[in-house]
Chain A
Amino acid sequence: MERDLIVGGFGGQGVMRLAQLMCYTATETTDKYVSYFPTYGGEQRGGTANCFVIISDEKIGAMTAPKCDDLIVFNNPSLAKFEARLKPNGTMFVNTTVATDAPKRTDIKIVNVPATEIANEVGDIRCANLAMLGAYIGYTGLLPAENIKKTAEKKLGAKRPELIPLNNAAFDRGFEIGKAAREAEKEA
């Protein structure tokens, strides 16, 4: 069983950090194979940033998959670039505050998450990635939410302890959105 995820956005939106937090948690709390492969342009803030994550029961060879199970997009260029790479019936998580273009595919599931808006509401725009990560975990149940929050506290809280409660609040709000989307799907 192999799960492939692509995360795309602008540099500075916490795209890489989101994926890393998940991978740290998978490494430290499961026996699964994990790989994280980043690609980014020469710029930092504002440049393109995306990464490929694989979590698998078997040894990982290729670190990018032609088609992914899940896709998280933080901006319109990522939506345009990666939408076609999602498997049919795969799930696209869209940061609707920034990625405002309408998706073209009709054979995929879409979870809308106003991640940047949530981050602003909890008090810091930098928490947008935690809101999105919460939604992803709430929807997929891939890893326990508590474990992710512990990793975030350890990896992000050491340098910026004042952001811990904000990160947790953003994560929880995203989590509820993801969970609700999953439940609505089951009912349908």
Chain B
Amino acid sequence: MERQFLKGCEAIAESAVRAGCRFYAGYPITPQNEIPEYFARRMPEVGGVYLQGESEVASVNMVYGAAGGGTRCMTSSASCGISLKAEGMSYMAMARVPAVVLNAQRGGPGVGDIRPAQQDYFQATKALGNGGFQYIVLAPSTIQEAADMTYEAFDLADKYRNPVMVLTDGFTAAMMEPVVLPEQKSEEELAAIKAAKKADWALKGKVEGQPLHKISFNAGSKPPQGKFMNTGEDRNKTDAAMYELWKEEEVRYEEYRLDNAEVVIAAYGVAARISATAINILRAEGYKVGMIRPIRVNPFPEKPYAALDPAKVKGILVVEHSIPSQMIYDVKLATGNTIQIDTCLRSCGEIISRDQIVEDVKKIFAK
């Protein structure tokens, strides 16, 4: 397969098209403007639709509609723009429609900073909107992963009939790297995927002799399995069962140079790739240090952290572009507070250097 030198945003948008995304609606915001820009040019070539909504709220609700009709669809934004999409993201969770939402994180809170950050971990994993719902959240650390995970997100969304979030950042969005793009799904395959949705639950208008499908942001949608449910509580229970299933089937993580590690770095996304460089430097100097990297931050990979032996591991260092740290709470829960946790943090556009990580790991060894 041919490598291409692509910007993160370009690789993401082209991978979405190749996964069969045929409807994109968004509203401009730095640092992900090249995503809508790419779709605006590309969608007409594949018979898809690109729409710039009048706002984030409008565009996410356009995606809600497209998802309800069974079309593979996507919206993207950055941080404060994602906050504005909270209503639609929550409605899509209640209606249980498959869609992909991408966040190229920037500094916060509020409008924060146009420069990159990783300050939306809580939002992405704990509260994308009201109501206690969850999305599977994919966290790429390179442009290749951003391409592959965006592609995969569409399959995951259809598999669970639930939206999926790709949690990337302004670093990855603006960087360029060689990428091998995923294969274009065939028109036949895409038509079959859509037809299956129409036959099961998606909106299709009134067809003689067939039951009418409906999509609703209260408890009224046809549920993914089982009988029609009228109460919100029943829907909550169905969703809760799905979240439990994710913990069994959808956890993804990477263990990096973890053999005999006495200090373990916990980092996701761009912070993890910088940490990998720091680990290589430290290992060359004889320091036993490794990393557990969540490839998906929801469901969180509790088991590999829980498996760390407090008798052997001196400490954990959470490396994150967020002040204060957000992922630290999931690491604490997973380890049951049995191992000392320190942090190595920057935020609001400042980038963590490999030297800073090296220094902070050495401090733990010196304790």
Contacts and interface: CB of A to CB of B under 8 A. Distances in A.
A82 interface: no
A66 B354 CA distance: 8
**Looking at chain A, what size class is its interface with the partner chain?**
20 to 34
A181 B178 CA distance: 32
Interface stretch (A32-40, A92-100, A122-130, A163-171): A32-40
A35 B276 CA distance: 15
A145 B274 CA distance: 32
Contacts of B327: none
A27 B11 CA distance: 15
A184 B85 CA distance: 61
Contacts, number: 58
B275 A35 contact: no
Contact of A64 (B5, B115, B351): B351
B355 interface: yes
B24 interface: no
Nearest to A66: B355
B353 interface: yes
A111 B139 CA distance: 42
A23 interface: yes
A64 B176 contact: no
Interface string B266-281: 0000000111111010
Interface in B137-194: 171, 174-178
Nearest to A64: B351
A40 to B, nearest CB: 9
**Most chain A CB within a 10 A radius of its CB, from B3, B277, B354:** B277
A66 B277 contact: no
A1 interface: no
B340 interface: no
B5 A27 contact: yes
B4 interface: yes
B114 interface: yes
Contacts of A38: 174-175
A35 B177 contact: yes
Contacts of A61: 273-278, 280, 354
A62 B171 CA distance: 11
A34 B175 contact: no
Contacts of B275: 61
Interface string B324-367: 00000000000000000000000000010111000000000000
**Most chain B CB within a 10 A radius of its CB, from A42, A61, A66:** A61
A7 to B, nearest CB: 13
A33 B5 CA distance: 10
A106 B123 CA distance: 50
B277 A62 contact: yes
A112 to B, nearest CB: 29
A23 B176 contact: yes
Interface of A: 20, 23-24, 26-28, 33-39, 42, 60-66
16 contacts: A28-B3, A34-B178, A35-B175, A36-B5, A36-B176, A37-B171, A37-B174, A37-B175, A38-B175, A61-B273, A62-B274, A62-B354, A63-B171, A64-B351, A66-B353, A66-B355
Given A20-B5, A61-B275, 15 more contacts: A27-B3, A27-B4, A28-B5, A34-B5, A35-B176, A36-B5, A37-B174, A37-B175, A38-B175, A42-B114, A61-B274, A62-B278, A62-B353, A63-B274, A66-B353
- 4 pairs of A and B residues whose beta carbons are closest in the complex: A61-B277, A27-B5, A61-B276, A62-B277
